Amino acid sequence: MPDDIPVVINTLEDVLFMDRINDISFEIGGKLVVLIEHQSTVNPNIALRLLMYIARIYEKIIRGANLYSTKKIFIPRPEFFVLYNGAVSCPDTQTLKLSDMFKDIDDLGFEKADPVLELQVKVLNINEGRNEAIVKRCSLLAQYSAFVGKVRDFEKDGYDREESMKKAVVYCRNHDILKELLEKNAGEVLNMLMTEWNWDDAKQVWFEEGLEEGREQGLEEGIEQGLEKGREEREKEREKDRKYFLRLLDQGLSVDEIKQALSKLKPNPNNEHLK
């Protein structure tokens, strides 16, 4: 990209989700708008989130323009990226599509067709040793990946999260990795990373709690449904026995004769009401 092409940051400071804003968004030359999210987990809903973000960004870009005009409004082409540096194995690149979230409509009788709405997000694994061609084009990104890798190395050695980060800061400063940043802003970096990683831990806890609550609710619902079905089946059997009793009674049999006839049938706990 030529050096004289203007780049305008337009990150949405008011797009919140649990007090989180989208990571960064910028325009290049008024023709390209790029949204980048940094995550340590791959969120399968990211395409929908970014759809909401880009709609808000376009609102800012075309503010004051007349959408009902007969003159076409031109907007910057969007590009969406997620920079992934989580511990779970992930390919170097993968693409998440909005259309993968659409519900199946085969049972509605519609013919299959390409989705009329689509958004594609490219997920790039920036862990140390992954996507080296991309990482090498940005030395800060490569150094950040090395720093995160060193934090994980110390965690593997048995240190807790905070102590691992402190040791990684010392190591990286001594090995010229993010040296200038860490010398001037080590405290801020640690606070930022602890907040970010604690947020990821919290999301995982919420996810696991949600699964557990779902299992408990499903079990309760299953038990209740089973009991209800049992009640319905028992009522059907009782109704069948009553009809059989009345039919024998209509045939002129006495109550004793009916009981004798019923006793010859296969024992059924539901006949107790006839005794």
Mean pLDDT of 16-33: 70
Q: Are strands 120-125 and 77-84 parallel, antiparallel or unpaired?
A: parallel
pLDDT tens for 210-260 read 666 665 566 656 666 666 767 777 777 777 777 777 777 677 776 667 767
pLDDT on residue 17: 43
pLDDT on residue 15: 45
Closest CA to 247 of 229, 232, 262: 262
d(CA 46, CA 123): 10
Mean pLDDT of 26-39: 88
Name the token pair of 268: 């059924």
Give bridge partners of residue 17 from the DSSP assignment: 20
pLDDT tens for 77-106 read 999 999 888 888 889 999 999 999 998 888
State yes or no: pLDDT of 126 exceeds 80.
yes
- Averaged pLDDT of the chain: 77
pLDDT on residue 239: 74
pLDDT on residue 273: 45
Spell out the domain ranges in the chain.
1-61+74-100+117-125, 138-194, 235-274
Strands (E) across the chain are located at 7-9, 24-28, 32-39, 77-84, 93-97, 120-125
Mean pLDDT of 24-46: 87
- Which stretch of 13-22, 66-75, 118-127, 221-230 has the lowest confidence by average pLDDT? 13-22
